[in-house]
């Protein structure tokens, strides 16, 4: 079976590197599915899970936005933050979700709602990846 090399990189360094059969990611324009030999492209990503099909299994990487660069033999994901399921601190993600929900419910003027909503999305995404809900 043909594969494509995938690298997920953050400012802190590489998070994931492997040869996979398929990459699925949530771009700003919608869901993308990338197979080996895909035409070159660049797309901005939403907060979500990148699904990597490898040897019959699906591995998940939680990403907080960023960019996806596709070349026929390689996919590079440049993300502000990215974590594989086994590296996510579930307790910390639950606390972040709770804090963001409290900020959104407080409806106080000094709360930055966009920032709180984004924090909530990131926390929910991280929890979903640990529970394999994609």
Mean model confidence pLDDT for the chain: 89
Q: Are 36 and 2 in contact (CB under 8 A)?
A: yes
Domains of the chain with CATH codes = 4-85 (2.60.15.10), 89-130 (1.20.5.440)
Distance CA 68, CA 90 (A): 26
Percent of the chain with pLDDT over 90: 57
* pLDDT at 50 (0 to 100): 95
Whether the pLDDT of residue 35 is over 90: the answer is yes
Tens of pLDDT along 97-107?
Answer: 888 888 888 76
Q: Residue range 50-69: average pLDDT?
A: 94
Phi, psi of 11 (to 5 degrees): -60, -25
* Greater pLDDT, 130 or 35: 35
* Greater pLDDT, 5 or 131: 5
Tens of pLDDT along 75-128?
Answer: 999 999 999 988 888 888 889 888 888 888 876 666 677 787 888 888 888 888
Those residues whose C-beta lies under 8 Å from the C-beta of residue 122, and which sit 6 or more positions away, are 47, 64, 81, 96
14-18, 40-44, 130-134: least confidently modelled range: 130-134
């Amino acid at each position: 079976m043909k594969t494509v090399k995938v690298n997920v990189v953050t400012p802190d360094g590489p998070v994931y590197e492997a040869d996979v059969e398929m990459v699925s990611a949530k771009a700003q324009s919608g869901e993308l599915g990338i197979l080996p030999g895909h035409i070159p492209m660049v797309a901005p990503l939403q907060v979500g899970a990148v699904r990597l099909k490898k040897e019959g299994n699906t591995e998940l990487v939680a990403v907080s936005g960023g960019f996806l660069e596709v070349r026929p033999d390689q996919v590079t994901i440049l993300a502000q933050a990215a974590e594989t399921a086994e590296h996510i601190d579930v307790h910390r993600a639950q606390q972040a979700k709770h804090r963001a929900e409290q900020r959104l419910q407080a409806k106080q003027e000094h709360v930055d709602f966009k920032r709180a909503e984004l924090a909530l999305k990131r926390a929910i995404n991280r929890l979903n990846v640990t529970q394999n809900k994609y």
